[in-house]
Structure 1
Amino acid sequence: MINPSAHGWVNKFFFEQVAQKQFELFDFESFYLATRKTGFLVGYATNFVTPIPIEIHNLTTEEISKIALLNSLFGIYQISKQSNDNQEFIQACVAFYKELHPKESGLWDVFLPHEAPDSKLEKIIGNRIKTNDNIISKNFSHILTNALLFIDVLAFKHYLLENTLPKKYLKKIEEIIVGTVSLALSAKKQKTHYDDLLQKLFETSVRYSKFSKTYNDASTENIDYSYLSDTYEKFYLIDLANMALWNDGKMEPTEAQFLETLSVQLHLGASFVSQSIQDMDAFLRENKNTIPYFNYSNPVKHFYDQTTTNVQTLIQRNKKRLQLEISQSRELMILLTQSTTRELSQEEKKKVKTQLLDICKTIPSLTIFLVPGGSLLLPILIKFIPKLLPSAFNENLDKTN
């Protein structure tokens, strides 16, 4: 089982997927279409394009995004180079991100002297997935940033084929994407609060651009699409515009016309647009209830539900270690037991909080509670503690219900 939160997960991925040879299974277009069906393009992967299926039910959303990004980069490398040498891929990937983020960017400050390439790649991918050091704002701000992760794949493909990246490549791509999404939303016959929110989320999800220009009319002539030279860039733009138009679950004539006009400007056939609409509709209908940006009418509830799921996953992984650490703290055990029959005093609650944070310091996966804002998640941890403790504790808990 791959654990993308543990050191060594990149090598474990390649060990478990040792037979992966995408270049024997796909060309560029078929790999893109297969990736579209996983949900990675819209930032919500439910599976991966791998010969050996990877179970995701014990993974957090961040960990799933890590695997999806690594796998997509590796797939592009295999097709581009006609090779599945994972060590050469890792070297190429680190070199690519080094060009993407020069030394002065600060990304390379986290590396140790003579650190192995696979370890560097793990840190790089972790950095690409995370959007904010503050866990509270991160869970709000990453909603669409992970949708735009596929821009890394676009850039990597260009880097592999051309051995370099054009100046300000990512800035240009981001500007075109956000501008096109804005136009797509303006093409909708009926506007909703969701549309305004989606626009704002896209604009706050970019990494390299600042936007001062607005697009108030649905005319793609306002955007210079001649910059897009690669088919992946064009495919991705159609799919993101399609996703932006989908939220009400139906395609109005004006929306279909927008996609058709866009496809003509991008020199793509009508069949690609039709398949995009069909695939996106199938994926989004199946997963709408769990995709973050379709459940943003109550962001506080969404944050709590998503964080609860992720914390529960981390607790289950570290169940035995938590049991041992809690059982060794007699005072904490007593207070937790008493909390099931009476309200703890403020001083007692402070002791519980302090001792739980001390325990989290000893378990790497639970350092999530130590970052700024992380202590606000402690009630979620406490909620699951009764399931970890001895039966006497649970019997006491039952008597209070």
Structure 2
Amino acid sequence: MNPSATDWIPKLLNGFRPEDLLGSNKNEVDFYSDLKSVGFIFGVSVSSLLGKNVSSLQLTKEEYTKVNLFHALLTTYCYFNNTNNFSEAVPKIITFYQQLEKGKTGFFKKLTLSQTPTQELEHILSARLQETNTSLKKNNTSILTYALLYADVLAFMRWLDTPRAIKNYAKLLETLVISCCFLALKAKRKQTKYDRLLIELFESSSEYLIETASGTQVITLQNLSRLKKLNLLEKKYLLDICTIAVWDDHQMDLAEFKFLQDLIAFMQLSEDELTKSLKELSLFSEAYGSKIKLFEYSNPVRLFYKQSAATVKLLILRNKKRLQQELEESGELLVLLSQSTVRDLSEEERHKVKEQLLDVCKTIPSLTIFLLPGGTVLLPLLVKFIPKLLPSSFNENRIDPKKK
């Protein structure tokens, strides 16, 4: 199953029994704990709830996140309706996102003929992952991570029970999350330059903060009276989000801990919930060595390069054998690529590499991204990762780790 290719949802549904997909528990709180154990709540999905057998491929964080989001929505529907009829769940999830007006697909996706419901949902989920990284736009920065995706699941729960006014609920929930994170950052005694940047972004974002504070920019817990009206699952999620917000330096000073204590007292949660939240976050971080962040400042150019590099690397790894075969059949290209690892190529040689690489990409469907308008911008990234595929005899500077 490849979550980056079409029809991965039918493949997933047909590859597992209903009882395997739904798990042994029928409790939303227990399922929430399961999602936290794989990193979905933390915004760093390290696996799916189904384990490694969900795919024979080495999935990326984004692909695991996409699978876990679908799994969470599917399970929520089945728990609520006490059913394992997955064919009914997919149209309901699509209708939910349409009413929420999120996860909108692009213009060209809409023109796709004979699109099945599962294919439409696949496009929606992909678009939803893109939206979470651009939800708070200011000064061309992208700072929100995948940790906020669970808000979709909470909104879906509410929609199944009360379909009306779901947009108002989703906006309220997002506003409460953002406002509490703002207060968590303000509580930090030692604020980094990125903390200060985020605080400035929040303070200038009237969509979130001014509306929350009844027309003022002074945000306090006392102003967020709706926190007391949240259900247990919503409160646990909001506490976990605030815990992540102050965790990026892996330290907890007295001011940060005091804010978290005030938060649970205001929401009428027990001290055990805070202790459990901190412990689970610490254990996950230690187990996977992940740098868990709720917010991540990124320059748009750097973000584009980072995402493009990850995409190119993934395409190369998944087409390794075919690409290696095509390169070996193109003798001159192979020689030039190998020489590029030890010297700068001339203008004529770089032109030859560009033309011959595009010819190679034509023979591998997954690499057609390089043939699109502007795709040649990614060619240097392709060249960067290809030397790893070449035989060691072509790279004189490669050091054998065993002999080092």
* TM-score bucket of the superposed structures, by smaller chain: 0.7 to 0.9
CA contact (8 A) 1:242 1:259 kept: yes
* Displacement of 1:109: 6.2
Local SS of the residue matching 1:347: helix
Aligned pair count reads 390
CA contact (8 A) 2:245 2:294 kept: no
Deviates more, 1:124-133 or 1:72-81: 124-133
CA contact (8 A) 2:184 2:245 kept: yes
Q: Tell me, in whole angstroms, the C-alpha distance in 2 between the residues paired with 1:142 and 1:70.
A: 24
CA contact (8 A) 2:203 2:209 kept: yes
- The corresponding residue for 2:231 is 230
Query: Does 2:280 correspond to 1:283?
Result: no
Q: Deviations over 1:156-215 (max 9, x none)?
A: 1111222344343322222211111010111223222242355578899x9x95656899
Local SS of the residue matching 2:47: coil
Q: Tell me, in whole angstroms, the C-alpha distance in 2 between the residues paired with 1:133 and 1:297.
A: 10
Local SS of the residue matching 2:287: helix
- The corresponding residue for 2:402 is none
- The corresponding residue for 2:14 is 15
Q: Deviations over 1:253-281 (max 9, x none)?
A: 33222222222332323322221111112
Question: What is the TM-score with the length of structure 2 in the denominator?
Answer: 0.80
- The corresponding residue for 1:381 is 382
* Displacement of 1:387: 3.9
Deviates more, 1:162-171 or 1:215-224: 215-224
Query: Does 2:6 correspond to 1:32?
Result: no
- The corresponding residue for 2:70 is 70
CA contact (8 A) 2:142 2:297 kept: no
Question: What is the TM-score with the length of structure 1 in the denominator?
Answer: 0.80
For 1:155-304, list aligned pairs within 5 A: 155-197=155-197, 199=199, 209=207, 219-226=220-227, 229-291=230-292
- The corresponding residue for 2:91 is 91
- The corresponding residue for 2:396 is 398
CA contact (8 A) 1:369 1:378 kept: yes
CA contact (8 A) 2:228 2:266 kept: no
- The corresponding residue for 1:366 is 367
- Indicate how the Cα distance of structure 1 residues 86 and 203 shifts in structure 2: closer, same or farther if over 3 A, else same: farther
Query: Does 2:37 correspond to 1:43?
Result: no
Q: Tell me, in whole angstroms, the C-alpha distance in 1 between the residues paired with 2:221 and 2:44.
A: 27
- The corresponding residue for 1:320 is 321
Q: Deviations over 1:269-315 (max 9, x none)?
A: 33222211111122233345454679879999998777655533321
* Displacement of 1:9: 0.8
Q: Tell me, in whole angstroms, the C-alpha distance in 1 between the residues paired with 2:193 and 2:289.
A: 17
* Displacement of 1:67: 1.0
* Displacement of 1:372: 7.8
CA contact (8 A) 1:186 1:218 kept: no
Unaligned stretches of 5+ residues in structure 2: 400-404
For 1:334-349, list aligned pairs within 5 A: 334-340=335-341, 342-349=343-350
- Indicate how the Cα distance of structure 1 residues 198 and 26 shifts in structure 2: closer, same or farther if over 3 A, else same: farther
CA contact (8 A) 1:17 1:51 kept: no
Letter in 2 for 1:313: L
Give the fraction of aligned pairs with identical amino acids, expressed as a percent: 36
* Displacement of 1:38: 1.7
CA contact (8 A) 2:188 2:256 kept: yes
Deviates more, 1:370-379 or 1:155-164: 370-379
Letter in 2 for 1:345: S
Q: Tell me, in whole angstroms, the C-alpha distance in 2 between the residues paired with 1:142 and 1:58.
A: 26
- Indicate how the Cα distance of structure 1 residues 337 and 107 shifts in structure 2: closer, same or farther if over 3 A, else same: closer
Letter in 2 for 1:191: Q
CA contact (8 A) 1:23 1:83 kept: no
CA contact (8 A) 2:22 2:75 kept: yes
Q: Tell me, in whole angstroms, the C-alpha distance in 2 between the residues paired with 1:255 and 1:52.
A: 37
Q: Tell me, in whole angstroms, the C-alpha distance in 1 between the residues paired with 2:258 and 2:133.
A: 42
RMSD over aligned Cα, in angstroms?
4.0
- Indicate how the Cα distance of structure 1 residues 232 and 361 shifts in structure 2: closer, same or farther if over 3 A, else same: farther
Q: Tell me, in whole angstroms, the C-alpha distance in 2 between the residues paired with 1:142 and 1:12.
A: 33
* Displacement of 1:381: 2.1
Q: Tell me, in whole angstroms, the C-alpha distance in 2 between the residues paired with 1:311 and 1:21.
A: 31
Deviates more, 1:64-73 or 1:45-54: 45-54
- Indicate how the Cα distance of structure 1 residues 181 and 387 shifts in structure 2: closer, same or farther if over 3 A, else same: closer
CA contact (8 A) 2:188 2:255 kept: yes
Local SS of the residue matching 2:252: coil
